[in-house]
Amino acid sequence: MRTSLADGWGGSMIATDISDILFGTPAPVLGEANLGVLKDDMVNVVVHGHEPTLSQVVVAASQDPEIIAYAKAAGAEGISLSGICCTANEILMRQGIPAAGNFLQQELAILTGAVEAMVVDVQCIMQALVSLADDFHTKIITTSPKVRIKGATHIEFDEQHALTIAKDILKEAIDNYANRGDVRIPDYKNSLVPGFSHEYINYMLGGSYRASFRPLNDAIMSGRIRGVAAIVGCTNPRVQHDAHHTTITEELLKQDVLVVETGCSAIATAKAGFLLGDAGLDRVGPGLREVCETVGIPPVLHMGSCVDNTRILTVLTQMVEEGGLGDDINEVPAVGIAPEWMSEKALAIATYCVASGAYVMMGGSNPVEGRGDKVPDSVLVADYFDSGWEELYGGKLQFLDDPQEMITRTLDHIDAKREALGLPAYDPTQFGTSGDARIEELELLPFEERRAAMYGQASAN
């Protein structure tokens, strides 16, 4: 647990802060997601992995007049850059570069026959990419000394010569354009608005002079927003692609739960249309819909890559500091869910969130769960992750196979936290069109009675 706190509040949070210093703090920008972002008349370069430095420099190099002219000389209309996995999120939320997909779409991008080069750095890189690319014209270009795949083209990235190396990578892709065969790009893509850093959320709720988490806290205290769920993490080949992410997200939105997402989960729900203003509001509960329409936000907030999960912790901390939702993260009506996790990093993230006081659910079985009849030690460990950790830290970790069970436990946990804070029970009939009569009744009450009716005894006190 000590190591996890160092990883989260130390390594991950500092990495996010430094990325923001180097490349800019994200703010909302219009983007697109899914394989339909690939172009049949342009050189398609897909950046894939997790280190933002390389991808940011490749974006800059792709806009260089020299490189554009080089691409046109090769017979293309220009260069189309897109991303896979968390590299996609990094350039999507800062420059609006489209996301070709999440983890399980890296092979599918090559299958289109339209990708001249897939540029990879570290983590979530399928080792079979090179053998798959052998059946097409795609070049797999590795760039990190930590990741060298047999048969791939290796162009090692060095920050001291970043732009020169990025141009060399793009020229490799452009030279490969002439080798393209049949192209079949699916006509599927969705618009989205990413870039909700915790700094921007603070700003959007109050503007430059009144930036505050007070409106968010008030919406939760009144019951307009039932609670908050952070749905994060990978896509997993053991389940239908994106299914758990979209199922859980859609149901929680109907229940007026504000959803924030990072990593592959954010790309999954972007493809389902939840990350674009009015496009997803017809599937949202009446109270949350009022908030989204008032503030002008989509019902799901894209908060960045997997590294940026610490942005969510920062938001929870600022909500506590604002007041009205308890004295620590473990008292906030909030849940973390990684429904399709598949990597060790996901467990590390889950552990630092639990250590911070969050209730976290992971999809699938517990990796230390025993098999067979003689499993007393594994049962003890599983119980310790749950009740033992909750007693020590206020947070707990559970592993669940069924997404419906995750939804049920999320709502039960949020409602229990609301009750413990003395907040009114969730009642969707008070908001939206159905709540107009209730609002008129409240307006007739004296101020103190109206405040107690809206926010509960905790606020009245």
Question: What's the chain's length in residues?
Answer: 461
> Following DSSP, what letter does each residue of 183-216 receive, concatenated?
----S--EEE-----HHHHHHHTTTTTS--SHHH
In a domain, 186, yes or no: no
Same domain? 206 vs 173? no
Same domain? 271 vs 367? yes
For residue 230, give the nearest of 204, 257, 208, 259 by alpha carbon. Answer: 259
Q: What is the dihedral of CA 301, 302, 304, 308, to 10 degrees?
A: 30
Residue 41's CATH number: 3.40.50.2030
pLDDT at 442 (0 to 100): 64
Same domain? 212 vs 247? yes
In a domain, 236, yes or no: yes
Same domain? 213 vs 142? no
Distances (CA, A) of 56 to 62, 392, 413: 10, 41, 40
> Following DSSP, what letter does each residue of 236-282 receive, concatenated?
-TTSSTTHHHHHHHHHHHHTTEEEEE-HHHHHHHHHTT-SSHHHHHT
Same domain? 86 vs 46? yes
In a domain, 14, yes or no: no
Report the C-alpha gap between 335 and 353 in whole angstroms. Answer: 10
Query: Strands across the sheet with 139-142, in order?
Result: 153-154, 139-142, 115-120, 43-48, 79-84, 99-101, 31-33, 190-192
Report the C-alpha gap between 249 and 243 in whole angstroms. Answer: 10
Instruction: Please give the angle made by the CA atoms of 377, 380 and 381, to the nearest 5 degrees.
Output: 90
The helix (H) or strand (E) run that includes residue 115 is: strand 115-120
In a domain, 323, yes or no: yes
Same domain? 412 vs 324? yes
In a domain, 149, yes or no: yes
pLDDT at 372 (0 to 100): 57
Residue indicated by tokens 């992971």: 362
The angle, 0 to 180 degrees and rounded to 10, between the axes of the packed helices 52-62 and 85-95 is 50
pLDDT at 446 (0 to 100): 79
pLDDT at 376 (0 to 100): 67
Tens digit of each residue's pLDDT, the chain (461 residues): 999 999 999 999 999 999 999 999 999 999 999 999 999 999 999 999 998 999 999 999 999 999 999 999 999 999 999 999 999 999 999 999 999 999 999 999 999 999 999 999 999 999 899 999 999 999 999 999 998 999 999 999 999 999 999 999 999 999 999 999 999 999 999 999 999 999 999 999 988 888 899 999 999 999 999 999 999 999 999 999 999 999 999 999 999 999 999 999 999 999 999 998 776 688 899 999 999 999 989 999 999 999 899 999 999 999 999 999 999 999 999 999 999 999 889 999 999 999 999 999 999 988 887 665 666 677 888 889 999 999 999 999 999 999 999 999 999 999 999 999 999 999 999 887 655 545 556 667 777 776 676 655 544 44
Query: pTM for this one?
Result: 0.92
The dihedral through the CA atoms of 443, 445, 446, 448 has a sign that is negative
Same domain? 199 vs 127? no
pLDDT at 208 (0 to 100): 83
In a domain, 449, yes or no: yes
In a domain, 6, yes or no: no
pLDDT at 330 (0 to 100): 98
Range of the domain at 98: 31-179
pLDDT at 75 (0 to 100): 98
pLDDT at 435 (0 to 100): 54
pLDDT at 451 (0 to 100): 65
Same domain? 203 vs 175? no
Same domain? 206 vs 166? no
Contacts of 196 (CB under 8 A, 6+ apart): 26, 28, 204, 260, 297, 301, 302, 303
Q: What is the longest distance spanned by two Cα atoms in the chain? A: 76
Please state the domain count of the chain: 2
In a domain, 376, yes or no: yes
